[in-house]
A and B are shown apart, each in its own frame.
Chain A
């Protein structure tokens, strides 16, 4: 076990009230594994990632419960929610690194690309400026960037979004982290660049044996990259399991809906259905009683789904789902 999250809850104090962004979330990542977190906008994916990094903006956010236990390079374990800030800084950017969704906004406009990559090396590996810069250039080269020396001296405003995301990956990979968190790393990029970035992450993973926590809306991407999938809805984990199993036999109606909303260009000549799930995700200010998904669920039963919060049920084979009618709707829903 590399990382294990237990009963994590994160709340935001907003003008309109308290938002339960993440509610009692638990999951684990094994060494070298790629876990994808999927879910609609606002389901709490980014907040969960930020909680691992210790970067939940406070105020307005606050981690209200849980443990995030991380196994370090030296074999010791650390609860990231209780570690001293010095120890946390030692882990951040070094053993756990993160790639963000909008690479151009995530890079500082006033430092060169080389300097920004070199910064982690100087910080965590105590490299000299010259050594760190040389390593940065080498990283850029190994990520398939042409003329890496010249690129290292450019500023973010001089490069494209795809290039910027490579730079972000170089920055995150600089210290060979044991866990890479990628929060929708390809959403802001066009399709061909997306594929390149994905294969780059796979390549890095093969080279270093790191684990990846991959956050995305895109189930197509999940099928390509993930060993396991965790589905989030309204701040909760609603289903998880091995990728193949989740794709072939989803057991939670929300997961089925997500899968059904993937546009199947080749096999379907019907018009693209972008949302097979009716309605909107609930406001984090007021999650529905019972199962949070029940107002949108075609299998919801009055007097059951709207009153009783479903537990996460272990189904064997590493799959677990949160649905009260799991035994009645066997075979998933289409």
Chain B
């Protein structure tokens, strides 16, 4: 298990390094990084000063070293727009996005799991068919539409929830539901099929043959092997959502990381965009690492494979 963890950690570090190098190459591929990094309104002297400050007059390899050093210190330049260091500025927006994503995934799991388990334990019952019908609906309604309907019902018509702004947990309720909507359906179907598959395995019959109660059979012997594919999907969904809440943050005017990145894109605020790429990539790598570790914990076969 330790060897397995070490290998996965090494892979995570290598992946991050590869992303960083790619970013470095992309900046330099334009020929003149200053053209990318300096705001349009800078004059030649300022540009030269910036180039010197960033070490862009040095050989490429030295620049690479300086760039990596900067990254390690979280220094990716200054936002053109707000004139503050880009990375800290972006990082200040990360908690909002994390909270939103966490709430959305949490809601989807908290509802989707029991629905899925119920459907798997009563396959083809009326409830199962109803859930299946609902999940088709959930999967086919676009996110922005759910958000708009929620705003219309809870803010415009009844005024029980605020339509925009962040800071208070209340502001997260509708955006989280908006993001969870499709995923509740998705997780229900996933848990159902995964558990049905594991329930038909011979080791579940062995567990019954031992005289275990049906609850123990399901909770102890069927659910854990069934969790394996779920962990992968939860991880993927988390990563996907972390960099994919642009529409929701925009509709609900939440001050999240993705909205900032979108604004930066419109303004060509490269240091912010660079920081964003790094944070998103770092998050992906981190989630993959956590998924791998969870895999090893749930299934001993994984940890032992070289």
Would you call B298 and A110 a contact (CB within 8 A)? yes
Considering the complex, give the chain A residue whose CB is closest to the CB of B206.
A106
Would you call A92 and B210 a contact (CB within 8 A)? yes
0 or 1 for each of B192-232: is its CB under 8 Å from A? (1 = yes) = 00000000011101111111111000000100110000000
Would you call A110 and B224 a contact (CB within 8 A)? yes
Pick the contact of A171: B210, B214, B300 (CB < 8 A).
B210
Would you call B211 and A102 a contact (CB within 8 A)? no
Considering the complex, give the chain A residue whose CB is closest to the CB of B224.
A110
Q: A107 near B: Cβ within 8 Å? A: yes
Determine the chain A residues whose CB is within 8 A of the CB of B205 once the complex forms.
55, 100, 106
CA distance in complex: A107, B300 (Å): 13
Determine the chain B residues whose CB is within 8 A of the CB of A155 once the complex forms.
300-301, 304
Considering the complex, give the chain B residue whose CB is closest to the CB of A120.
B210
CA distance in complex: A90, B212 (Å): 9
Would you call B211 and A106 a contact (CB within 8 A)? no
Q: A93 near B: Cβ within 8 Å? A: yes
Would you call A109 and B209 a contact (CB within 8 A)? no
CA distance in complex: A94, B202 (Å): 19
| Contact status of A123 and B301, CB under 8 A, knowing A108-B203, A109-B203, A110-B224 | no
Q: A119 near B: Cβ within 8 Å? A: yes
CA distance in complex: A158, B301 (Å): 9
CA distance in complex: A120, B221 (Å): 14
Question: Which residues from 69 to 127 on chain A have a C-beta closer than 8 Å to any C-beta of chain B?
Answer: 85, 88-94, 97-98, 100, 102, 105-110, 112, 119-120, 123-124
Determine the chain A residues whose CB is within 8 A of the CB of B301 once the complex forms.
109, 155, 157
CA distance in complex: A112, B301 (Å): 11
Pick the contact of A110: B206, B210, B212, B300 (CB < 8 A).
B300
Determine the chain B residues whose CB is within 8 A of the CB of A89 once the complex forms.
211-213
Chain B interface residue bracket vs A: 20 to 34
Q: A211 near B: Cβ within 8 Å? A: no
Would you call A92 and B209 a contact (CB within 8 A)? yes
B63: min CB distance to chain A, Å: 50
Determine the chain B residues whose CB is within 8 A of the CB of A168 once the complex forms.
206
Would you call A109 and B211 a contact (CB within 8 A)? no
Would you call B211 and A92 a contact (CB within 8 A)? yes
CA distance in complex: A98, B213 (Å): 17
Q: B263 near A: Cβ within 8 Å? A: no
Q: A53 near B: Cβ within 8 Å? A: yes
Determine the chain B residues whose CB is within 8 A of the CB of A157 once the complex forms.
300-301, 304
Would you call A106 and B225 a contact (CB within 8 A)? no
Considering the complex, give the chain A residue whose CB is closest to the CB of B124.
A59
Would you call B225 and A55 a contact (CB within 8 A)? no
Question: Which residues from 33 to 85 on chain A have a C-beta closer than 8 Å to any C-beta of chain B?
Answer: 53, 55, 85
Pick the contact of B300: A85, A97, A109 (CB < 8 A).
A109
Pick the contact of B212: A91, A97, A123 (CB < 8 A).
A123
Would you call A107 and B206 a contact (CB within 8 A)? yes
A53: min CB distance to chain B, Å: 6
Would you call B225 and A109 a contact (CB within 8 A)? yes
Would you call A124 and B300 a contact (CB within 8 A)? no
Would you call B298 and A106 a contact (CB within 8 A)? no
Would you call B300 and A123 a contact (CB within 8 A)? no
Determine the chain B residues whose CB is within 8 A of the CB of A97 once the complex forms.
209
Would you call A55 and B208 a contact (CB within 8 A)? yes
Would you call B206 and A108 a contact (CB within 8 A)? yes
CA distance in complex: A119, B220 (Å): 11
0 or 1 for each of A157-171: is its CB under 8 Å from B? (1 = yes) = 110000000001001
Determine the chain A residues whose CB is within 8 A of the CB of B213 once the complex forms.
89
CA distance in complex: A93, B224 (Å): 22
| Contact status of A98 and B300, CB under 8 A, knowing A105-B201, A109-B225 | no
B133: min CB distance to chain A, Å: 21
10 A-B interface contacts by CB (under 8 A): A93-B210, A97-B209, A100-B202, A102-B202, A105-B203, A108-B203, A108-B225, A109-B225, A110-B299, A158-B304
Q: Which 4 A-B pairs have the closest CB atoms?
A: A93-B210, A93-B211, A92-B211, A108-B203
Q: A89-B211, A123-B210, A157-B301 are in contact. List 15 more A-B contacts (CB 8 A).
A: A53-B208, A55-B208, A85-B214, A92-B210, A93-B209, A93-B210, A100-B206, A108-B207, A108-B225, A109-B300, A110-B298, A110-B300, A112-B300, A155-B300, A171-B210
